[in-house]
Amino acid sequence: MKSFLQLVLLVFYSYALFGQTRTDTIVVKQNTIPIDIIQHQSTSLAFITLHHDEQTGIAAIQNVLKDSAGIYYCINTNSKRTVPINSDGKRFEIDPNRIFNLMTSPTNYEDESHAIKQHIAKYLLEKLSAADLTIALHNNHDGRYSIKSYQQDARFKNNYLSVSINPMMDVDDFYIVTDSTQFNYFKKQHFNVVLQNNEAIQDDGSLSVFYGKNHRPFISIECQFGHLQQQIQMTKAVYGYYNTYFEPIENILQQTEPDTSK
């Protein structure tokens, strides 16, 4: 009996300390899409990874939630970027970060993928709506898309209002934020940060554009593949922002200043 009680206590403390992991599913037509969820204490901060090939971001948030509060949603597509869909014998791939502009548009019955994309978007947005702040984690490749792209690539000229770069930081590691309070916070903490132009940016169906256009708090953490420590630090730094501008959460780590020692 005593050992049973100890086991119950152990399970209870592990849940309280390290969070609970479970898997939910999105069921649409003949498809079952697994959503891995880690919940640790509070649900006020919601984290999401949309691309399952971006494993550095996934490892970073798993690490942070061991000792920080929050809820994390992971579309589990077996390390693939896209979600494979089977619709009445036809097969296609959906990029889960190109679906959120379909939430308000009327269903296009000509396009079989349309209703399926709407279904996935609706599921994810409903889950995330319980949080005060949503944070997406992404990874990019060295020397391609970076914070410099905003200043140097004409295709990005309508996408942003301001850019702040710390020359000590890798240009591939940066935040994309959706309001000027967030921008000023991370700039002051000497992180690379881009302020999205929520009005002028072309709606590509991404989650950051959806949140920006709906004026809801959203932060994207972009890091180069393999920059695990940087992405962990940048994720922890979001708690500092959260505790400054929202009802503070107890028992969470705070991180300020990027570690530029390499």
Rounded CA gap, 246 and 248, in Å? 6
Contact 150, 174 (CB under 8 A): no
Q: Of 195-224, which residues contact Zn ion (CB under 5 A)?
A: none
- Please identify, among the stretches 39-47, 117-125, 132-140, 250-258, the one whose residues bind Zn ion according to the rule CB under 5 A: 132-140
- Two structure tokens written together for 241: 């922002």
* Sites for Zn ion among residues 22-51 (CB under 5 A): 51
> CA–CA separation, 222 vs 203, rounded Å?
19
CB-wise, 54 or 173, nearer to Zn ion? Answer: 54
Query: By CB under 5 A, is residue 138 in contact with Zn ion?
Result: yes
Q: Which is nearer to Zn ion, 138 or 187 (CB)?
A: 138
Stretch of residues binding Zn ion (CB under 5 A), selected from 22-30, 32-40, 121-129, 137-145:
137-145
Nearer to Zn ion, 54 or 170 (CB): 54
Stretch in the footprint of Zn ion (CB under 5 A) among 35-43, 133-141, 188-196, 243-251: 133-141
Q: Which two tokens stand for residue 176?
A: 């994309």
Token pair in block for residue 26: 């999105």
Nearer to Zn ion, 51 or 187 (CB): 51
How buried is residue 81: exposed, middle or buried, by Cβ count under 10 Å (0-12/13-18/19+)? Answer: middle
Cα–Cα distance for residue pair 223/213, rounded to 1 Å? 24
Shortest reach from residue 220's CB to Zn ion, in Å = 9
Contact 99, 121 (CB under 8 A): yes
Could you list the residues that contact Zn ion (CB under 5 A)? 51, 54, 138
